Structure 1
């Protein structure tokens, strides 16, 4: 034992033992097996990431590959498909679309909470001033003869009741006067009475008959007196013309009361009732607002414009209202039967004709997620809709940037406006995915394309990009589109510059609607407005740089 202790105490033995211990520790930590295991783990992790990445085509989202390349349909470069999914184990609906905060800011996505209210429909009606038809009077010749003198020289002249309008030479009237004078000379009361009545039937006044009897001489001419006071709307004769009995000489209208006639689309008629208060403005009298009461609603619809006339009666003491002046009316109508209903902005709705969809924000997730939902819409309120079913009070819906979210859904192959069923791609040859049988049909990728389904075999939904800049542009675009026979609905979004249309393709086409809009000064994605027409638009409507 003593010998062994002595050996251990030797410095050479101690150093040798330390060196051997260092080699053993180095082998344990830096052995080839450990290094191979670590590199294998890193390689598997990277491979897993590569396998999870999917590449798709921005024009044909049904194409999916596990590596970059070219689209087999259009030869465009494939782009990586962003995978949705919650962070930190969040329970995100697999059909939801997730956007980062940066993406939401770039797309200007805005949301609002669904709330209830008593909806009021605001309608704008367009029309013009017209004479009160009940005051129109035709001034006729009650006896045949020739116009000797004409006291009314032009149309628009104001006349008073009893005023002499013209002097008429009539042989028949001359003979009737001679008969009266002869009966007086013969002192035959019955003949006198008959002769007076004959002259009265020809509209001679008692004063004129008395003057004939007093003078004792028949007059070859007779004065035609105005039956009513008013304005001469039409002058039909000139000096020297021969007129027959009953012939119309002048059309006279009393403009102390006038009508304001407005065109109301058939979709708005259920909300307009006789007795409703209405306010209107005139282009000729800017800055002034006039009020009236709806006195009559035409029971017939114009088959061309699909409108009915709404009549408002108003006084015209200062003769400021002149026939054919353009008028714009605003009417607010409470929707009876829709009290305390859900109301959402119009910009939140993606409308495909048969289906109306919105994007609802999923609650309780860190990264915003949006889920497509179909809803049932009630009446349109102009800038909003009444919701009958599909939403609950307090839910948060997207009101701006809806198209951007829907485009993201289409790229990811999820439910979207054009694809009511989530696409389930089928793997084809060459490593890409072929279109599924239930995938959305391919569309022509232009600013004007058909959207979704149609309500019937005739009516189809379209969108058209239309340039404009203000509310006046919106009114002009929608009015022009609705004025084309076959267009049943037209709504232009001032922010997105997109016009949504419902068109009966048996009656018209998208090309015809686009041409009509271009003719009134608005560029579309299919036609450009004439420069002279564009320059004639009001300054607030100019949109070209």
Structure 2
């Protein structure tokens, strides 16, 4: 130990130790290997943060904002189902080029959003609109051919030559044999007048028998034979089908009693019910094509011969009559028929016509979305239009659109929902201020119905309630979809109004007296 201390005290050893310590400190503070890793680590950390931030931005841009087309207040950052109605959410992330001059109120959608919302467009053009009016009815006998076979003198039915409904008879055929004491007395008066050689009495007796519808041949036979008969044959005065038989053998009948109703079915009537909203488009002489459930694929044709000038106060329809020849007797009374009338709107020539799906109607305003031309990103501008007559699946546009413009015909509600989310002018927000938007609520419930007439009746009944902005009844699902202002009405009140129109629903049942007055094609109860 002593030797070691002496060795450290040596000046040469101390010099060596100082030099080594200096070299170590220089290497520690000034070596590139010690400073470079710190710089590289900092650079690597910066790149990682930037890469992570960029990845997050890409993920957010890809997901965007997802909303419900029926409830635009719902907003999520990923796809899914609407928590209110269960519909699929749609993306509404806006994209576009910053150098393009875009109207502040316009809506831009990415190609992905347009594809998912199934947005479709078409160009509008002027045309001569034709309204397709669909009518429902049934076959009826021609009232002008109906004949009542009556007893011209009182007596008892001895025998019936025609004893069931539906039998075919011809003019002059014997229908029944009648026993009549009055007729027997009149025949005796004729014979007595002949014996007395009194021309005036003979003429009076003959006229009396003729008034009781005895034929000249029958009267001549009585005069020649000199015998009388208490029975007389009742002859048919027309050819046709026996529609009803009102007597049986042995019945006593009075003078003028109806025995049979006979109709000639070589020409029949097709009687249809037309709603009052369709009456302005129907005219006497319009061609009509109709089909029958009994003859699938076969089309019958005729022309409107008469339109009832009085509207039924219960069904709000008028009867429309079409006369149809029926030589083969294949058209039978009470058969159901469905007719289509292509009625040209003579007062609306050279007008723009758009599909019904292109129009959003709020009750006060009607709007469409017009695609802006020459834009790299699909851009749509809302525009108010003035509607003309409804053509069934289309509307006549009186003001608001020009020939050649491209409008949205499918997916309009999705674009309007995007406008509401962006706080821009939309169907429910006229001034573009979403701080206090118009309240709107969606509801749906089951409603019973059977045909297109039911659809029109149900939707008109729902829209008649103050506060209802839209109503659509699905025949297949037997459901009605409603959009209404909850401050003005409720789903319960709307259901009650629909029941009063004659349609059972999940909330109320229609009164039997109202249901029984519905047209036959609208009967949905089993």
TM-score tier by shorter-chain length is: 0.7 to 0.9
Structure 2 contact 148–258 (Cα < 8 Å) conserved: yes
Q: Which residue of 1 aligns with 2:439?
A: 441
Structure (1 or 2) with the larger CA radius of gyration: 2
Residues of 1 paired with 2:431 and 2:259: CA distance? 73
Map of 1:146 onto structure 2: 156
Aligned to 2:452: 478
CA distance 1:353–1:510, shift in 2 (3 Å): farther
Q: Which moved more, 1:392-401 or 1:150-159?
A: 392-401
Q: 1:123 offset after TM fit, Å?
A: 2.0
2:245 counterpart of 1:235: yes
| 1:244 aligned residue | 254
Moved more, 213-222 or 193-202: 213-222
Aligned to 1:314: 324
SS of residue matched to 1:198: helix
Query: How much has 1:143 moved relative to structure 2?
Result: 0.6
8 A contact 2:266–2:326 mirrored in 1: yes
What secondary structure is seen at the aligned counterpart in 1 of 2:205?
A: helix
Superposed counterparts of 1:91-490, under 5 Å: 91-425=101-435, 436=436, 439-443=437-441, 445-447=442-444, 476-483=450-457, 487=461
CA contact (8 A) 1:137 1:253 kept: yes
**Larger deviation: 86-95 or 180-189?**
86-95
Q: Which secondary structure does the structure 2 equivalent of 1:446 belong to? A: strand
The answer on whether the counterparts of 2:106 and 2:380 sit within 8 Å (CA) in structure 1 is yes
CA shift, 1:96, in A, is 2.4
Any stretches of 5+ residues in structure 2 without a counterpart? 1-30, 40-49, 55-63, 78-83, 464-470, 510-526
CA shift digits 1:251-306 (9 cap, x unpaired): 11111111111222222222221112222222212222222122111111122222
RMSD: 4.8
Residues 98, 515 of structure 1: alpha-carbon distance in 2 compared, 3 angstrom cutoff? farther
Aligned 8 A contact 1:86 1:92 in 2: no
Distance 1:182 1:495, change over 3 A: closer
Per-residue deviation, 1:61? 6.2
Q: CA deviation at 1:115?
A: 1.5
After TM superposition, give the deviation of residue 161 of structure 1 in Å. Answer: 0.8
Mean CA deviation greater in 223-232 or 353-362: 353-362
Q: Give how far 1:190 is off.
A: 1.1
TM-superposed CA distance for 1:384, in Å, is: 1.4
Q: What SS is found at the alignment partner of 1:337?
A: helix
User: 2:72·2:418 contact (CA, 8 Å) conserved in 1?
Assistant: no
User: Which structure 2 residues correspond to residues 8-157 of structure 1 after superposition, within 5 A?
Assistant: 84=94, 86-157=96-167
Question: Which TM-score applies when normalising by structure 1?
Answer: 0.71
CA contact (8 A) 1:181 1:216 kept: yes
Check 1:369–1:167 CA distance in 2 against 1; reply closer, same or farther (3 A cut): same
CA distance in 1, matches of 2:353, 2:157: 69
Where structure 1 has 5 or more consecutive residues not aligned to the other structure, the ranges are 1-21, 31-40, 46-53, 68-73, 426-435, 449-463, 467-472, 529-545
Q: 1:231 to 1:415 in 2, by over 3 A?
A: same
Query: Partners in 2 of 1:488 and 1:245 — Cα distance?
Result: 56
**Shift in alpha-carbon separation, 1:481–1:511, aligned structure 2, 3 A:** farther
In the aligned structure 2, how far is the partner of 1:214 from the partner of 1:254?
37
Deviations 1:394-417 (A, max 9, x none): 222111111222222333333332
Helix, strand or coil for the counterpart of 2:159? strand
User: Do 2:131 and 2:342's aligned partners in 1 also have CA atoms closer than 8 Å?
Assistant: yes
In 2, Cα distance between the equivalents of 1:419 and 1:158? Answer: 70
Residues in 1 aligned to 2:498 and 2:121: alpha-carbon distance in whole angstroms: 33
Count residues in correspondence.
Answer: 454
**CA distance 1:494–1:344, change in 2 (3 Å):** farther
- Partner Cα separation in structure 2 for residue 465 and residue 400 of structure 1: 26
- Show CA shifts across 1:483-520 (max 9, x none): 469639886689999968899x9xx944564899987x
TM-score, normalised by the number of residues in structure 2: 0.73
